[in-house]
Structure 1
């Protein structure tokens, strides 16, 4: 399973990397202004910068891609209740630019299955305790009624009303509430 997930992540990474290369080539085509560096640059910051570059190169040589670097890095602990995955990707987007794009696209997917009408409704959610207690015969009746209402066959209302009244009369006679005719 681990190999499958890693291979799919690498495939996704490669697709995003190709897309990113196209954008980088387009940005290289436009000339960028040169920045003049002050010759009196602080020696300490220069040494720190060199050390950071060295560490990045060492880390890069050990790992071939951002995916490998990401997978080698230590995981955040679950015990941290204030951990925010979106904030983590925001702060680490410079470290993993292509993976950050993937995370942005994946984490932006809607995870709710609520109908948009109810999401913006001011009426609130109204559920009664009998919502899920419909008997099978009632469900069948509702489905049949919906099919009847949505059918393209014209409805003869007078005939339908007469049939309903006949059925009601039969039911009342069976219960003994109505004398036989």
Structure 2
């Protein structure tokens, strides 16, 4: 059996990347899901070290300067997000199937750093459904929603850059497709 490859899951805001990733982990606990670092404040219910590594701008800057991120970016023009490099390399070296759930800019940086990774674009079934999901989350004010939708328009145009495209019209079906793309055994 071939060594596990890093799988990068990207797509626009509110497309369901977190939901699909959580479903993969629930069904395949051996899949290691990278926890990103961010300078934004936690949303209600988010736990440091589980959902994100929440850190100050100064802490983030120190990690950037030390080359400790596989990728990082300013997202939606406001907050920085990044993938710490060390845990990714450690898990891949141990033979663990690894999944990164990141934004478009991050996926592009990972492609430069690790072109052997598998790149998967999670797409919404329609623009209207993406808007409905974003509004339905209720976690952003109107200004932030508009900023995220503007970013999503750009991100949707990047779909051809990816190795695989999965339409998230149904979480279970989308997860099944991602599991197949990752080469995990059927259960």
Same fold (TM over 0.5): no
Give the number of the structure whose alpha-carbon radius of gyration is greater: 1
TM-score by length of 2: 0.21
